[in-house]
Amino acid sequence: MVPLEDDAVVLRRIPYRESSLVVHLLTRHHGVIPAMAKGVRAQNKGTARAALAGWHTLRIQGRARDWGDMALLTGAETVKSRPQLLAAPLASAAGEVMREALQRHAAPGDPQPLLFLLLDETLDRLERGDPPLPTLARALTLLLHRLGYGWQWERCGGCGAPEPSAFLSLKHGQGLCRRCGEGRARRSPALSPTLALAMRRLAREEEITLSSVQEWMLLLRLAAASIGWRGGGQPLASAECFRRMLEPSHPSTPMTSRNLVR
């Protein structure tokens, strides 16, 4: 048996039998760990039950036969609590998109400390009240790059011309020049010069600002589609749900200014 101690965030919870829970944990040092929390749903005031229910960063203890195998969870305490996030529907929906994207791409037993840091930091931003749309669009773009699937900009993915990108091919994750991109608009959305520049800066992990909700929405759509494309071709269902919550007719849509970085 391997003893297990690490920081973790819960990606997924699956009720098991009467009182137990299987959780998929993204850990700081050991990638995704599937773990059994025996009897945890039977505890009324158990600290482990509360810890596993939220968006908190946890310190977990357990043991497993080997890395990547189902672990037995023996302890979970909250080291960074995020109570605001639980009560904010749009911020929680943004967190769900990160969970689905990571669930799709992070493999059990494969250490991905940069992915843990990205999730931890994104949840911190949402917890402190940063606007969910830019926070999520940024996080998904960084995730794409940290997974090694980042967009390629050096030259046009169609003809090889060293021109600034005017379009983005979702299928190939490459910028396209104006000539190659026109006529492929369905799979290759057009980019404004400011968005194209911002995307290149994000790829270098620099902070960016965009001036309109539409540009943030397009960045979110591009990042979510690229992640879905790379992770089996299915779109991220949670990203669609997040986008619907931003529509003006949605009952939980907050003020527009809340969705924008200023």
Dump strand ranges (E) for the chain.
Answer: 2-16, 20-27, 31-37, 57-64, 71-80, 167-169, 174-176
Q: By C-beta, is 170 or 180 nearer to Zn ion?
A: 180
Rg of the chain in Å (alpha carbons): 20
Distance CA 147, CA 156 (A): 22
* DSSP 8-class letter at 129: T
- Tokens standing for residue 144: 């794409």
| Three-state secondary-structure class, residue 112 | coil
Q: By C-beta, is 59 or 155 nearer to Zn ion?
A: 155
CA 169, 170, 174, 179: dihedral to nearest 10 degrees?
10
Residue of 14, 117, 159, 185 that binds Zn ion (CB under 5 A): 159
CB of 210 to Zn ion, least distance (A): 25
Q: By C-beta, is 35 or 156 nearer to Zn ion?
A: 156
CB of 179 to Zn ion, least distance (A): 5
Listed in sequence order, the residues at least 6 apart from 87 whose beta carbon sits closer than 8 Å to its beta carbon are none
User: Which among 164, 6, 173, 13 is positioned nearest to 75, based on CA atoms?
Assistant: 6
156 binds Zn ion (CB under 5 A): yes
Q: By C-beta, is 97 or 177 nearer to Zn ion?
A: 177
166 binds Zn ion (CB under 5 A): no
154 binds Zn ion (CB under 5 A): no
* CA separation, residue 194 to residues 37, 199, 211, 215, 241 (Å): 48, 9, 9, 9, 27
CB of 158 to Zn ion, least distance (A): 4
Residue type, 233: G
Q: By C-beta, is 12 or 178 nearer to Zn ion?
A: 178
Distance CA 34, CA 193 (A): 43
Stretch that binds Zn ion, among 9-17, 126-134, 153-161, 223-231 (CB under 5 A): 153-161
CB of 223 to Zn ion, least distance (A): 23
- Tokens standing for residue 156: 């046009």
| Three-state secondary-structure class, residue 152 | strand
CB of 225 to Zn ion, least distance (A): 21
CB of 173 to Zn ion, least distance (A): 15
Stretch that binds Zn ion, among 81-89, 139-147, 157-165, 188-196 (CB under 5 A): 157-165
Q: Give the Cβ contact number of residue 7 at 10 Å.
A: 17
158 binds Zn ion (CB under 5 A): yes
Stretch that binds Zn ion, among 1-9, 45-53, 68-76, 151-159 (CB under 5 A): 151-159
Give, as ranges, the residues between 177 and 196 that touch Zn ion (CB under 5 A): 177, 180
Q: By C-beta, is 183 or 251 nearer to Zn ion?
A: 183
102 binds Zn ion (CB under 5 A): no
Residues lying near Zn ion in the complex (CB under 5 A): 156, 158-159, 161, 177, 180
